């Protein structure tokens, strides 16, 4: 066979390329992406807490009790979100 040598060398090259590329591994996200992810999480949770508090207060006419309570809960949720994102980033 004429092509035997060629195929052999091709096989070797393929194996080399496979070793270098380590498949299945995604590139880690860039630092900007990480930072944006975390900042937005905390603000979004606070905003949701604030809106829920305002809605309840408007409904029961008890301003500002529920705004305060839900803003604090929202801050807690924001920290929880950041904690989860940081945990998932660490895993990668």
Partner 1 sequence: MSAEKLIDPIHQFEITKLANIEIGSLDISFTNSSLFMFLAIGATMLLFVLGLSKKSIIPGRMQMLSELSYNFIANMLRDQVGDQGRSFFPFIFSLFMFIFFCNFIGLIPYTFTVTSHLIVTFAFAGLIFIAVTIIGFVKNGFGYLRIFYPSGIPIFLAPLIVPIEIISYLSKPISLSVRLCANMLAGHSILKIFAGFIVMLGFLGFAPLVFLVVLYGLETLIAALQAYIFTILTCIYLNDALHPDH
The residues binding partner 1 (CB under 8 A) are 24, 26, 29-30, 32-33, 36-37, 40-41, 43-45, 47-49, 52, 70, 73-74, 76-78, 80-81
Rounded to whole angstroms, how far apart are CA atoms 27 and 31? 12
**DSSP 8-state code for residue 61:** T
State the minimum distance, in angstroms, from the CB of residue 53 to partner 1: 10
| CB nearer to partner 1: pick between 51 and 58 | 51
The two structure tokens encoding residue 33: 């992406």
CB of 71 to partner 1, least distance (A): 10
- 58-77 b/e with 16+ CB inside 10 Å = b? eeeeeeeebbeebbebbeeb
Minimum separation from the CB atom of position 16 to partner 1 (A): 21
């Amino acid at each position: 066979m004429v092509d035997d040598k060629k195929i052999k060398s091709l096989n070797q090259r393929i194996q080399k390329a496979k070793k270098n590329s380590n498949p299945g591994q995604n590139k880690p996200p860039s630092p900007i992406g990480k930072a944006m992810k975390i900042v937005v999480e905390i603000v979004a949770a606070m905003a949701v807490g604030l809106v829920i508090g305002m809605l309840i207060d408007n409904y029961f006419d008890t301003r500002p009790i529920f705004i305060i309570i839900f803003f604090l809960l929202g801050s807690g949720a924001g920290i929880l979100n950041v904690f989860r994102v940081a945990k998932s980033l660490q895993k990668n």
